[in-house]
Structure 1
Amino acid sequence: MRLYHWRFIWLISVFLLACGGQQTNTTPAVSTPPLANNPPVQDPVLGANLQVPDNRKLDPQQILLFGNSHSGSHNLPGTLQLLLQQGTGKTVGTLRAGGAAYLDERLDDQVSRPLLESGSWTHLILQAQKYSTTGLYNYSTAGAKSWIALAKARGVTPVLFPEHPRAGNSEEGMRIFQLHQQIAADQAACVAPVGPVWDQVLQQWPDLPLHSDDGNHAAPAGALLTAYILYQVISGQPAEALPDLSALAVPITTQRILRQAASAGIRQYPPCPF
């Protein structure tokens, strides 16, 4: 019966990806004043601030990703799955869900909440919090907090995935990371230090091609760096201990640099409250 249940979930997930996976809204939130900021949450479940479940030792691990194109660039879910299997030896499944572009919109998209509630997920990765590209405006974080609360109520570890900075922008990565730290201060969650780690790599190895040609999305090396960060957040195992993988579309020498940078950044910015 359990096998039949997971096959059913897999079929539903594939259908949802087909419906919503072709996300074209890939730009950061526009720098215009928001209409509202953090309306009060009425649902008592959403209003609770439970402890973050520690699911690092569970086997199998089932990881659900909510986000836009930044959570799927260069097969980020598949790369993360490969790293987790190689580093932990566990059975791992990853699914990047279709649906709305931003976290607040997902609460009403008829896809995301039923999907979260339909499976035995161990982790929920949350990317696509709206933010001001100029830093002049504040956008509501109520949607992100609601997803964190819903995940914890189901025993799922919520992992906030702040986006990496755009090319040539030396302040954006830390600003977005700090925004997500503020969210986690109000509604406890893990926060992957993507922006600070990218900043460190770009400063120390400026010739590494982390960005794609558009200056917004990740190149293969950038997507792998993010995957290494998420790997360590989810598994609790150091990314620097992972083996060289010839299956990755990134040179071995670059893999080693990125692994070490991911572990160094996480030591500097511990992501989870456990």
Structure 2
Amino acid sequence: MKRSRLVKIVIGILAVLAIIFLAGYFLISNALKGEKIQVMDFDQELNLRKPVQVKTDPAILFLGNSMTYFNDLPTVFMNLSQSGGFEPEVYELTEGSYRLEYFADETDEVGAQAWDALKNYDWDYVIMQEQSGISTIGAEEHMYPAARTLDSMIREANGESVFLMTWAYKEGFSFPLLGLEIKNSREEMQTQMAQNYINIASELDALLAPAGIAFMRCSSEYPEIELWDEDGNHPSPAGTYLAACVLYQVLYDQSPSELDYTAELDRQTASKLQLVAAGIR
């Protein structure tokens, strides 16, 4: 789906505002309860499940929102794959601010397209990416039920579900609400996102591409690489490339290190991002 830069920016602003108010409710609630998020160790071994069979020419469908279509992640992943000798058929169905529950709803305009794609075509992999706010604080109520519905359809389409864990906002949550300063650090936000993605992937025995954890590792090891767009939420070209490298590592069970395709990044930066992704296991 082609969209103007202006439309994407407006959609992004509206999405952020909605997430802020939703997050405010939960964060105030947690603060009143005295709850504190225990930040995870982002360097820990993840023990990711591997594909049932590595395919050289997989049919892949991306379901997501602006985190996927920003910088055209599907195309970057396709070009990276071809650089490694793979020939995937890549398709995308994305819409700004969309949640998995919208894709799982046959009565939704875009959801109807997702249902058609899953009911009438076979897929090797369907890569699903949840809205940032929902994957952070609304997973059990919204993300999990939709993921279960979509996973069932994907299995009927002879495919494997892949959950693309996205990244926390660069500065996390920090805003005034009702006279209080509500703050959720990048590390706290990513911890919640990671736990929710890991939980649903484990429940459904699905593949997990933890791009968000790769962001945390990269920002720690290579702080000179800017992974976020100027808005602090969406990925920069380097962030999109890192996410593509993580998908490459997970779907092909093969390191993206030393691949020639760099998505117009300088060779040194691309090599660092490839190494980070290669360490995601």
Q: TM-score range by the shorter chain?
A: 0.7 to 0.9
Letter in 2 for 1:192: A
Q: CA RMSD in A?
A: 2.7
What does residue 260 of structure 2 align with? 244
Letter in 2 for 1:167: K
What does residue 66 of structure 2 align with? 69
Structure that is richer in strand per residue: 2
Per the TM alignment, residue 99 of structure 1 is displaced from its structure 2 partner at its CA by: 5.3
Indicate how the Cα distance of structure 1 residues 155 and 252 shifts in structure 2: closer, same or farther if over 3 A, else same: same
1:235-269 deviation line (CA, Å, top 9, x unaligned): 111122x42335x22111000100000111x23xx
Task: Give the secondary-structure state (helix, strand or coil) at the position aligned to 2:260.
Answer: coil
Per the TM alignment, residue 106 of structure 1 is displaced from its structure 2 partner at its CA by: 1.2
What does residue 215 of structure 1 align with? 232
TM-score of the pair, normalised by structure 2:
0.73
After TM superposition, list the pairs within 5 Å mapping 1:21-100 onto structure 2. Answer: 25-26=11-12, 27=15, 29=19, 30-31=22-23, 32=25, 54-57=52-55, 59-87=56-84, 89-98=85-94
When structure 1 is superposed on structure 2, of 128-137 and 91-100 the one drifting more is 128-137
1:172-225 deviation line (CA, Å, top 9, x unaligned): 223211101111232221111112111011112212110010000000001000
What does residue 180 of structure 2 align with? none
Contact 1:53 1:152 in 2 (8 A): no
Task: Give the secondary-structure state (helix, strand or coil) at the position aligned to 1:160.
Answer: strand
What does residue 161 of structure 2 align with? 158
Indicate how the Cα distance of structure 1 residues 134 and 62 shifts in structure 2: closer, same or farther if over 3 A, else same: closer
TM-score of the pair, normalised by structure 1:
0.74
Moved over 3 A (4+): 22-30, 129-139
Indicate how the Cα distance of structure 1 residues 118 and 229 shifts in structure 2: closer, same or farther if over 3 A, else same: same
Structure that is richer in helix per residue: 2
Distance 2:238 2:82 in 1: 20
Contact 1:244 1:256 in 2 (8 A): no
Task: Give the secondary-structure state (helix, strand or coil) at the position aligned to 1:111.
Answer: helix
Indicate how the Cα distance of structure 1 residues 171 and 119 shifts in structure 2: closer, same or farther if over 3 A, else same: same
Distance 1:235 1:106 in 2: 26
Distance 1:134 1:76 in 2: 22
Query: What 5-or-longer segments of structure 2 have no aligned partner?
Result: 27-48, 172-185
Contact 2:122 2:158 in 1 (8 A): no
Indicate how the Cα distance of structure 1 residues 134 and 225 shifts in structure 2: closer, same or farther if over 3 A, else same: closer
Contact 1:81 1:92 in 2 (8 A): yes
Query: What 5-or-longer segments of structure 1 have no aligned partner?
Result: 1-16, 34-50, 268-274
Task: Give the secondary-structure state (helix, strand or coil) at the position aligned to 1:261.
Answer: helix
Counterpart selection for 2:273 from 247, 252, 258: 258
